[in-house]
Amino acid sequence: MGIPNRYWTITDANRNYEICSTYPPEIVVPRSITLGTVVGSSKFRSKERVPVLSYLYKENNAAICRCSQPLSGFYTRCVDDELLLEAISQTNPGSQFMYVVDTRPKLNAMANRAAGKGYENEDNYANIRFKFMGIENIHVMRNSLQKLLEVCELKTPTMSEFLSGLENSGWLRHIKAIMDAGVFITKAVKVEKANVLVHCSDGWDRTAQVCSVASILLDPFYRTFKGLMILIEKEWISMGHKFSQRCGHLDGDSKEVSPIFTQFLDCIWQLMQQFPCAFEFNEKFLLEIHDHIFSCQFGNFLGNCQKDREDLRVYEK
């Protein structure tokens, strides 16, 4: 992506996981801001997941950034967070505004406000445009997969019964919502030449999904074997998608299990059906990846974040 450059820099400010325990040691932030601003903004974000660069579209300098929801409630504000978002906007001189994409349904985000979280107040941030995408939470997705599996396990369903069950599961509707969000971000970056900041609640589920889909749509590199592996490492493994909890690797809270990464692979498969010549890999490669998020044969998918894997010393084994 050509990083570092005149607008963006790589900082190791999180090398001891002092800013955010679920981010990698190195993060990419606007060159114009201070470490104090990054730290201040992190205190205003759920799980300290401060806005950082996800993808830079080199053709027009438009950027996709990601973070978690602000701890704004109804009236709380944070000057450091406002300065950081303004700095992100200024990395793209070709655009007069920046999108803030909240991947959640609006009602869910509003409910979070009552708990002291929520979403950005447009009155406190300069030149932002807000967009809700309506992707449901991990619990809805888990129930949807369960209903889909029940349909697939029917012994002799008629076509009508299968299609009715598929529709009632809501699975394809959820896949469409994720892809719609990815398409919106892609158009914002490529056509409107605008920066986009993406978040959900904690920024490690829906955020990873839509940032990854947008990257695949924008950049053919991520449609290659090497590119997809780098994308998964960059947007999922390094950025703290909770593989151990979402995949149920250990006996724990079953309510934390959810097919978030499975949905991402399904989104890729859907794109492959429409544009088969645009991808270097095929369905077999996706299935191989999916098998190994559950096999626990490789350290990549163990733990819930980079810090977990270091504590487990998986890179030494």
- The residues that bridge with 230 in the sheet, in sequence order, are none
Q: Which residues are annotated as a binding site for substrate?
A: 137-138, 200-206
- Binding site: residue ranges? 137-138, 200-206
Whether 78 is catalytic is no
Q: Which residue out of 20, 65, 200, 305 is catalytically annotated?
A: 200
- The catalytic residues are 200
